[in-house]
Amino acid sequence: MDGRNIRALAILGLWSQARAAWLLSDDPKAELRRADDLTARALALDPNNYLAHYARAYFLAYQRPDEAIAKAERALALNPSFLPSYIGLWAANWTAGRPKKAIDYAETGLRLGPRDNPRDPLAYAFLREKGMGLFSLLRYEEAAEAVKESVAANPEVAPAYLWLTASYAFAGRDAEARETLQRYLALPSGARSIAQVKRRQPFESPFLLEVYDRVYQGLRKAGMPEE
């Protein structure tokens, strides 16, 4: 209703980016174009708005990670209590091929957040991101434990099951990998084949392409059909 509502623009941009990043959209390129437009508009309206800087950082993280880091750091400078900024820092460093640094940011988010609060809305995200970083480092057992916690904290977030399935598969925990894959396939937003997962992955960072290739291998080991 209000095309100059900064908060609405930022949140809509974040959601479009999340649909692409979380492999939920069958047209991820369109989601990225929408996220680009909305987050740029939000930041242009108020260059000192912390939420607009974070939304732009989250979009840029998978496109131009160095720019994303600057935006996320600016969001933190404007609002040091805004923990989602660490998600932007995680995503930018992960995309840039710095998984150890990315894990540090995920752990910072967990440390600063209310981990003893079962309703903490961000714990599942930081746990999943920690697990994705560990998977990138071939630390599959640790990755599985982190993502398993993420799923327990929020069992309705489909992409976590992909990472948990692949982590179990590479850790040699075949029965758990197959069970987790079936839970993923039962979710309404889940892809039904490896080909569909690949179509939903829109990013072109060499590091991410290599990591996702291993995810596909793990899904294949767990029994996901190719087509």
CATH of the domain at 73: 1.25.40
48 and 131, same structural domain? Answer: no
Query: Is 90 among the domain residues?
Result: no
- Residue that is last in its domain, among 21, 55, 80: 80
The pLDDT assigned to 189 comes to 86
Query: Is 86 among the domain residues?
Result: no
Residue 94, CB-side half-sphere exposure with 13 Å CA sphere: 32
Query: Is 154 among the domain residues?
Result: yes
Q: Structure tokens of 20?
A: 């692409």
59 and 135, same structural domain? Answer: no
pLDDT beneath 50, residues of the chain: none
- Residue that is last in its domain, among 51, 80, 109: 80
Query: Is 142 among the domain residues?
Result: yes
Tens of pLDDT along 81-121?
Answer: 999 999 999 999 999 999 999 999 999 999 998 655 555 77
Query: Is 91 among the domain residues?
Result: no
The pLDDT assigned to 113 comes to 80
Whole domain around residue 67: which residue ranges? 1-80
The pLDDT assigned to 12 comes to 98
What CATH number is given to the structural domain containing 129? Answer: 1.25.40.10
3-state SS, 46-105, equals CCCCHHHHHHHHHHHHCCCHHHHHHHHHHHHHHCCCCCCHHHHHHHHHHHCCCHHHHHHH
- Residue that is last in its domain, among 80, 112, 143: 80
Note the helical H segments in the chain: 6-21, 28-45, 50-61, 65-78, 85-95, 99-112, 123-136, 140-153, 158-170, 174-185, 194-200, 206-222
29 and 117, same structural domain? Answer: no
Q: What is the DSSP-derived secondary structure letter of residue 122?
A: S
pTM metric for this prediction: 0.94
120 and 75, same structural domain? Answer: no
- Give the residue from 173, 175, 149, 177 showing the smallest Cα distance to 162: 177
Measured from the Cβ of residue 138, the count of other Cβ atoms closer than 10 Å reads 9
